[in-house]
Chains A and B, each alone.
Chain A
Amino acid sequence: MSAEEFEPNIVAFLCNWCSYAGADLAGTSRTQYLPNVKIIRVMCSGRVNPLFLVNALQQGADGVLISGCHPGDCHYMEGNYYARRRYTLMHKLLEHVGVDPGRVNMSWVSASEGAKFKDVVEDTVTKAKEAGPMEQFRRRRINW
């Protein structure tokens, strides 16, 4: 697979109140963005168990994204702070075991930032493209 053809697949965890709403706003404003990012809705970015990131990379995702409310704006007061700490730790750990740090991303997107969501998607995809296909953790697909 050549670098031009490679279209990375990205799993995103968006919090229900800010980032998922921001992605909805990108939709209602017809902001076009890359289709590489597939969204899983969680109530709060604090819900994202860091192992979800590893799991996504194992399943074959080339990049992951966590997005929550801006610091201080969390619907549950402090969930995004927990998410940030866990993310930082997991980011370092994954880098340590040889995963390209560009695969693991986190952003703050509020409910009014549809345009920013597009930018975050583009940024995440660009970084994952640079990192190339994720092959390190591959395991056989589990049939649910």
Chain B
Amino acid sequence: MDNLNRRPRIGVYICHCGINIGSVVDVPGLVEYASRLPGVVVAREYTYMCSDPGQNLVKEDIKNEGLNRVIVASCSPRMHEPTFRKTLKEAGLNPYYLEMANIREQCSWVHPDKEQATHKARKLVEAAVVKAMLLEALEEKEVDVIPACLVIGAGIAGIQASLDIADAGFKVYLVEKTPSVGGRMAQLDKTFPTLDCSACILTPKMVDVANHPNIELMSYSQLESIEGYVGNFKATVRKKARFVNFNTCTGCGVCAENCRLAGRIPNEFDENIGMRGAIYLPFPQAVPAKYTIDPERCLQLTKGKCGKEGPACAAACGPGSIDFEQEDELVEIEIGTVIVATGYDVFDCTRKPEYGWEDIDNVMTGLEFERLVSASGPTGGHVILGRDKKGEGGYEPKKVAFIHCVGSRDKSVGNEYCSRVCCMYLAKQAHLVRDKLPDADIAVFYMDVRAFGKGFEEFYDRVRREGVRYIRGNPSEIYRTGEDHTVVIKVEDTLTGTPMEYEADLVVLGVGLEPRRDVREIIDLFKLSQSTDGFFMEAHPKLRPVDTASDGVYLAGCCQGPKDIPDTVAQAKGAASSALILMAYGKVKVEALVSVVSPDECRGCGFCMEVCPFGAIELVDQNRMGNIVQVAQVNEALCKGCGSCAAACLSGAIQPRSFKDEQILPQIAVLGVRI
């Protein structure tokens, strides 16, 4: 149906949204007002416009009344514009003949005064009507989707998403910053509440991603740049130099044994409580099992000299894999979809100095304790503190305290949110201490215990029955007394109102989860939004939890917010399926709201070309009555419709569709008038 040359016949539909709009805005009065606006042939109200009967109302009127423009005055267009576009399309009308007036978020929900809210709603509806008259039919184009996905971060979220996509038969590029896949989950000892060994359930998946024919694992690599649009991204990945030949390294480890700095550099994987050399494998089960030289610590690389005889690692390496001349490699890849699974960092305890984490050896974070208690950790899983550098001596703690909510639910450090995992991981760690040190006195200081998941409450109950004391109180201070290891926790038991000083020789801080400290890098690459808590913001908190505002870019795992392993895996599977929808269908609709040039008005100055952030505009020759002149031309596949070009254009020759000057000025005319 072509509506281009016909007079506008506008239908206005006012939604009550249950009582959300109707209880504040005078809807019948608004209908009456709208029906008198120029071009309006139908004005109706309905309880829920977005419901099936509501949408049918629109469809019927398009058929019976010959409507060619539709205004829905309801919620934000960010909510239901796609819904009503579809309605128009189903009724045979071009979906871009829709205009919405946001009378819920901008009127009824924010202005309690009925008269004022109704007045503003009238203005918004009127502005929508004048804009609708000048709307144009737009064509939605489809482009092919490159059947490949880029997954950033190879923790459990990235691993699961990669495996799902690869198993469906699509190519995956899995980029991981550190030398090994595995992420945070690889650092954990046991998982709550089932007490599965974390490594035992994770390592098979780590091996799978490394061996899967459809997955190209790019470990020790970083995303350098990304451009393009949904379905057609071009990314550059920096493969950092390992200074070890990836193909010939057998992972035997002789190099690390011979490194002059062996055992002298804190190992990040062990949260710096274990030691490594300058050439290292972060942990024994690392995938890929290839050694890496730390360029910031290696003597040969930093000082240009290692001992009198030259680098000991190179001398010891059988296959001769050490290569100090190796350089970073830039790899370009083309992908159709992206999954961001960059994970989290734990709370930085130096921001809570009253707990003494920085100064007192036997006050440690939950993650440090995971490494201490892990069989693959620096103590082989024995809870032994105060060992010397050679790993000898030390003592077993007799009184162990766990502290909840360190860096979560704490406005003083800027983290108002609950980190969702600390209650349970501390319960699990208390259980592990009970298991390994049956005689130890164990106390847990808590604000609330949130055991909300499957099997959580039962596990918490079990831990309490094992003789772990739960004391309700938020410690105010932790300090060391004398020469021995005793640490005093100052706290008030808020159930009895008694101040107490609990003496312990090991304190574990239940540190919360925070956005990664390098989160900015990803934000800058993808222009992702952050929620108030700093984690990446999903497109809709309830209905689009894995999507982002950028089409084709999805979120998985703790980069979106704190969550436990099952939730992370579920979200990773969700993100994978979202990416698969695009790739399996093979085509995607591109932005119809692109800029368009009126060549006769263009003077060829190129200002638009200069401001276009996407390089979507070029100057081309045009024959103007025998003269060859240059005019701007828009590459519709690259244009995203921001409209910066239009504001720069001196003659108004370039305009973004649906946001043209001629469509915005009437809105200004309506809304500018005070009455």
Would A11 and B668 count as touching, CB distance under 8 A? yes
Please give the distance in Å from B657's CB to the nearest CB on chain A: 10
Residues of chain B contacted by A43 (CB below 8 angstroms): 593, 641-643, 656, 659
Distance between Cα atoms of A41 and B598 in the complex (Å): 24
On whether A144 and B549 interact (CB within 8 A), knowing A79-B613, A112-B537, the answer reads: no
> Interface readout for B638-675 with A: 1 if CB under 8 Å, 0 if not?
00111110111000000010010100111111111110
Which residue of chain B has the shortest Cβ distance to A117 in the bound complex? B110
On whether A60 and B120 interact (CB within 8 A), knowing A35-B111, A73-B523, A75-B549, the answer reads: no
Distance between Cα atoms of A53 and B126 in the complex (Å): 20
Would A11 and B672 count as touching, CB distance under 8 A? yes
Please give the distance in Å from A17's CB to the nearest CB on chain B: 6
Would A40 and B664 count as touching, CB distance under 8 A? yes
B206 within 8 A of A: no
Would A73 and B527 count as touching, CB distance under 8 A? yes
Please give the distance in Å from B554's CB to the nearest CB on chain A: 17
A14-59 at interface with B (beta carbon < 8 Å): 16-18, 20-21, 23-24, 26-28, 30-33, 35, 38-44, 46-50, 52, 55-59
Would B642 and A79 count as touching, CB distance under 8 A? yes
Residues of chain B contacted by A16 (CB below 8 angstroms): 78
Would B640 and A52 count as touching, CB distance under 8 A? no
Would B672 and A30 count as touching, CB distance under 8 A? no
Interface of B is mostly: helix
Please give the distance in Å from B139's CB to the nearest CB on chain A: 18
Would A38 and B643 count as touching, CB distance under 8 A? no
Which residue of chain B has the shortest Cβ distance to A31 in the bound complex? B110
Residues of chain A contacted by B664 (CB below 8 angstroms): 40, 42, 52
Would A32 and B644 count as touching, CB distance under 8 A? no
On whether A46 and B643 interact (CB within 8 A), knowing A11-B668, A24-B78, A27-B104, the answer reads: yes
Would B673 and A141 count as touching, CB distance under 8 A? yes
Please give the distance in Å from A107's CB to the nearest CB on chain B: 17
Q: Which residue of A33, A49, A82, A112 contacts B530 across the interface (Cβ within 8 Å)?
A: A112
Which residue of chain B has the shortest Cβ distance to A59 in the bound complex? B672
Would A76 and B672 count as touching, CB distance under 8 A? no
Distance between Cα atoms of A60 and B530 in the complex (Å): 37
Distance between Cα atoms of A27 and B26 in the complex (Å): 18
A67 within 8 A of B: no
> Interface readout for B92-118 with A: 1 if CB under 8 Å, 0 if not?
000000000010111101111100110
Q: Which residue of B550, B646, B667 contacts A40 across the interface (Cβ within 8 Å)?
A: B667
> Interface readout for B612-633 with A: 1 if CB under 8 Å, 0 if not?
0110000000000000000000
B293 within 8 A of A: no
Please give the distance in Å from B343's CB to the nearest CB on chain A: 21
The CB with the most chain A CB atoms within 10 A, among B79, B123, B549, is that of B549
Please give the distance in Å from B162's CB to the nearest CB on chain A: 27
On whether A35 and B109 interact (CB within 8 A), knowing A60-B673, A79-B613, the answer reads: no
A86 within 8 A of B: yes
The CB with the most chain A CB atoms within 10 A, among B523, B529, B640, is that of B529
Residues of chain A contacted by B102 (CB below 8 angstroms): 24, 39, 41
Distance between Cα atoms of A57 and B668 in the complex (Å): 9
> Interface readout for B67-109 with A: 1 if CB under 8 Å, 0 if not?
0000000001111000000000000000000000010111101
Please give the distance in Å from B525's CB to the nearest CB on chain A: 11
Would A47 and B659 count as touching, CB distance under 8 A? yes
Distance between Cα atoms of A110 and B297 in the complex (Å): 41
A124 within 8 A of B: no
Please give the distance in Å from B120's CB to the nearest CB on chain A: 5
A125 within 8 A of B: no
Would B133 and A61 count as touching, CB distance under 8 A? no
Residues of chain B contacted by A113 (CB below 8 angstroms): 532
On whether A47 and B669 interact (CB within 8 A), knowing A16-B78, A38-B120, A112-B532, the answer reads: no
B130 within 8 A of A: yes
Residues of chain A contacted by B669 (CB below 8 angstroms): 55, 59, 141-142, 144
Would A144 and B130 count as touching, CB distance under 8 A? yes
Residues of chain A contacted by B104 (CB below 8 angstroms): 27
Please give the distance in Å from B188's CB to the nearest CB on chain A: 30
Would B529 and A61 count as touching, CB distance under 8 A? no
Residues of chain A contacted by B670 (CB below 8 angstroms): 144
The CB with the most chain A CB atoms within 10 A, among B79, B112, B127, B668, is that of B668
Which residue of chain B has the shortest Cβ distance to A18 in the bound complex? B529
Would B106 and A23 count as touching, CB distance under 8 A? yes
Please give the distance in Å from A122's CB to the nearest CB on chain B: 12
Residues of chain B contacted by A47 (CB below 8 angstroms): 642-644, 646-647, 656, 659
Would A111 and B529 count as touching, CB distance under 8 A? yes
Would B659 and A42 count as touching, CB distance under 8 A? yes
On whether A82 and B647 interact (CB within 8 A), knowing A40-B667, A59-B669, A112-B531, the answer reads: yes
Residues of chain B contacted by A32 (CB below 8 angstroms): 110-112
Residues of chain A contacted by B659 (CB below 8 angstroms): 42-43, 47
Would B668 and A52 count as touching, CB distance under 8 A? yes
Residues of chain B contacted by A77 (CB below 8 angstroms): 527, 613-614
Residues of chain A contacted by B537 (CB below 8 angstroms): 111-112
Distance between Cα atoms of A23 and B112 in the complex (Å): 16
Residues of chain B contacted by A44 (CB below 8 angstroms): 642-644
Residues of chain A contacted by B531 (CB below 8 angstroms): 112
Would B647 and A75 count as touching, CB distance under 8 A? no
Which residue of chain B has the shortest Cβ distance to A7 in the bound complex? B674
On whether A35 and B120 interact (CB within 8 A), knowing A17-B549, A40-B127, the answer reads: yes
Would B529 and A17 count as touching, CB distance under 8 A? yes
Residues of chain B contacted by A57 (CB below 8 angstroms): 672
A105 within 8 A of B: no
Distance between Cα atoms of A33 and B670 in the complex (Å): 21
Please give the distance in Å from B652's CB to the nearest CB on chain A: 8
B124 within 8 A of A: yes
Distance between Cα atoms of A142 and B335 in the complex (Å): 50
A100 within 8 A of B: no
Please give the distance in Å from B79's CB to the nearest CB on chain A: 8
14 A-B contacts (beta carbon < 8 Å): A9-B672, A20-B76, A24-B78, A30-B110, A32-B112, A38-B127, A43-B659, A47-B647, A58-B672, A59-B672, A60-B672, A75-B642, A77-B527, A79-B643
Extra A-B contacts (4), CB below 8 Å, given A24-B79, A60-B672: A35-B120, A43-B659, A58-B672, A82-B647
CB-CB nearest 8 A-B residue pairs: A27-B105, A59-B672, A47-B643, A46-B644, A76-B642, A44-B642, A61-B672, A38-B671
